[in-house]
Amino acid sequence: MEHQNRPWTAFYRAGARAEITTPAYRNLADMIVAVAATYGRAPAFTCCLPNGMNGTLSFAQADAMSDALAAYLREVAGLAPGDRVAVQMPNCLSFPIAAFGVLKAGCVLVNVNPLYTAEEMARQFEDSRPHALIIMDMFADKLPRATAAHPIPNIIVTRVAEFLPVLPRGIVGLVQTYWDKSVKRIDTPHIRLPAALAAGRARIAQGADVGRYHQDVAGDDIAVLQYTGGTTGISKGAMLTHANLILNMEQTMELIEGVENGVVKGGEVALTALPLYHIFAFTVNLLGFYWLGARNILIPNPRPLSNLKRAFENYKITWMSGVNTLFNGLTNELWFRDSPPRHLKFASAGGMALQSSVAETWERITGAPVIQGYGLTETSPVLTFEPLGKARAGSIGVPVPSTEIICLDEAGNPVAIGEPGEIAARGPQIMKGYWEKPEETAKTMRGNWFLTGDIGVMDADGYIRIVDRKKDMILVSGFNVYPNEVEDVLAAHPGVLEAAVIGIPDSEGGEAVKAYIVAADRDLNGQDLRAYCKEHLTAYKVPKIYEFRDDLPKSNVGKILRKDLRAEALAELAAE
């Protein structure tokens, strides 16, 4: 059932560990403290606003401030080890303080998407039952409705310009209160983050020992509840342990550190435009690049993309993470094409399939490659990564150290090399299970193998290609058509801005391929695209129907919602 000799380890850099099973630290709090002791006064986090206003915290400051928050949570708010603390904010200096503080207090961090509606928040609060919430003021107006069913006893409020120098902080505050009115009055009882830190500091001065809060936290204890729709669509919290996250951070960094053009300890400036509440940026940017001693440039809101301009102008960005949408968007911005970042070594893509046309354009403009990784919330998240300098077009790379991957057929048996099958993974980064949902956990685990719900193909030497989500697969006259492949071809057409492909019921072939197109070129029509697709795809994969639109439905996490398109198409067919 497994690759006996793991041929992919041959692609790791020379000297890389093929096995990483024992975490370098007992728990994340130990890691945070040890790294701060090494890098001390070097800048750790910089928050850069669209107009260039900024604030920076050093490793030592982040360490001391998160100590103060831990002391507040345990001594003043009265939380116990293992109590959940929800954190709901975009990227800002408060995020690392909040996340690190919660972990140091021996509590469990619950990341909450700040764009959630009050109903979505309420569901997550009911499920995770947090004892405290650290939230950004801009989103606090949703609290009365979000906490009606599950009241949260301790609410700590922060703001986007927190810990910036006094003048920029004041200006941003005035603008948010009186100009764009993004901050409203908060009626829910709360304490401000700086006040909570002051109270925590006072307790430490009186002798409270923060080290004691986490000295008994073991690798197998839950560190984070990371919510995901998962493969079944029901929102559930993946229980990620301290060992899961430390090991996944090590597994990922093992392959990009110490290699030519790779990252160097203490020498990187990382652009964090992806939200830290998402598992990708959480593990790779917040934990991984902190561990490397890098300076993280935090962008509160990358929309519109011109919000990133000052960050690229004012800092020598050497590494960045992104998703297909971000890389595609940036290469379409005039200012970015005019002066691409000169110090960039490489960029990492995840979260959704990276289209090869986007990867090529990016490398042509910046001179630095985008390398793709793959993983899920349940896998902390990284399972595979393209070895730097050995990328293969369209591939998600090879399994990271101590990770095994196999592809399974419908019956659950491994398929032959080169054949598509559902990807199953085994390794130290696989979650402990879903929070209080053993039956959901059972559905996604087969023994200690985690079923991803993605269809992939593995080469003989271990490189993997994702063909699609299992549930998005289209069956045309007995042939499998994977929407990603067709979308990739469509997106490479110069007249196409975005494309989505779904299957609809068809009298001839069971299912037919339908393409939704957002055109960049108004004159583009279905005949042109059909002719173009015929050149690049086998006949059964060529879309039968082309529909042009102004935009495509997307989740608030930026992925195109094929299920919405399918529902629409089915409703239309039913109406006919």
Partner 1 sequence: MVDEFTQTLLGIMVAIIMLGMGASLTPRDFYLALKRPYGLGIGVISQYGIMPLLGFVMALFLVVPEPIAIGILIMACMPGGTTSNIFTYFSKGNLALSVLMTVTSTVTGVILIPIILLLYASALDLDIPREDIVRVLIVLLVPVAIGMGLRKLNANVGAVIEFCGALLALFFIAFIMVTWVPQNWQFLLNTTGATYVAAIGLGLVGIMLGYMFATALKLHPRNARTVALETGIQNGPLAIAIIVFTFPPDQQQAIMAVPALYSLFIVIVSTLVTLFFRRANTAAEQKMPDSLL
> Which residues bind to partner 1, rule: CB under 8 A?
49, 51-55, 113, 115, 164-165, 167-168, 171, 273-275, 278, 280-281, 302-305, 310, 313-314, 322-323, 325-326, 329, 332-335, 338-339, 351, 551, 554-559
State the distance between the two ends of the chain, measured CA to CA, in whole angstroms. Answer: 49
Cβ at position 270, least distance to partner 1 in Å: 16
| Cα(64)–Cα(381) distance, integer angstroms | 28
Contact 499, 515 (CB under 8 A): yes
Closest CA to 361 of 391, 333, 321, 392: 333
Q: Which helix (H) or strand (E) holds 37?
A: helix 28-39
Which of residues 44 and 243 has its CB atom nearest to partner 1 in the complex?
44
User: Which residue's CB is nearer to partner 1, number 191 or number 557?
Assistant: 557
Angle between helices 28-39 and 94-104 (to 10 degrees): 130
Least distance CB 554 / partner 1 (angstroms): 4
Minimum gap (Å) between residue 543 Cβ and partner 1:
22
The token duo for 550 is: 């102004």
Q: What is the DSSP letter of 165?
A: -
Cβ 243 to partner 1 shortest distance, Å = 24
CB of 303 to partner 1, least distance (A): 5
What sign for the dihedral angle of Cα 230, 236, 240, 245? positive
CA-closest candidate to residue 483, choices 423, 438, 543, 573: 543
Query: Smallest distance from the beta carbon of 274 to partner 1, in angstroms?
Result: 5
> Number of H helices and number of E strands within the chain?
19, 26
User: Is the Cβ of residue 21 or residue 555 nearer to partner 1 in the bound state?
Assistant: 555
| Least CB distance to partner 1 at residue 283 (A) | 13
- Residue 535, helix vs strand vs coil: helix
- C-beta of 150 vs 310, nearer to partner 1: 310
Which lies closer to partner 1 via its Cβ, residue 51 or residue 235?
A: 51
Q: Which residues contact 276 (CB under 8 A, 6 or more apart)?
A: 91, 95, 96, 99, 111, 282, 285, 286, 298
How far apart are alpha carbons 122 and 126 in whole angstroms?
Answer: 6
Q: Give dist(CA 19, CA 27) in Å, integer.
A: 19
Find the shortest distance in angstroms from Cβ 561 to partner 1. Answer: 10
Which tokens belong to 469? Answer: 């989500």
What are the tokens at 561?
């919602």
**What does each C-alpha distance from 223 to 19, 71, 239 come to in angstroms?**
23, 18, 8
Minimum CB distance to partner 1 smaller for 314 or for 448:
314
Nearer to partner 1, 341 or 399 (CB): 341
Q: What are phi and psi of 149, to 5 degrees?
A: -80, -35
- Distance of alpha carbon 97 from alpha carbon 100, whole angstroms: 5
Nearer of residues 55 and 237 to partner 1, judged by Cβ: 55
CB of 165 to partner 1, least distance (A): 6
Closest to partner 1 by CB, 171 or 545: 171
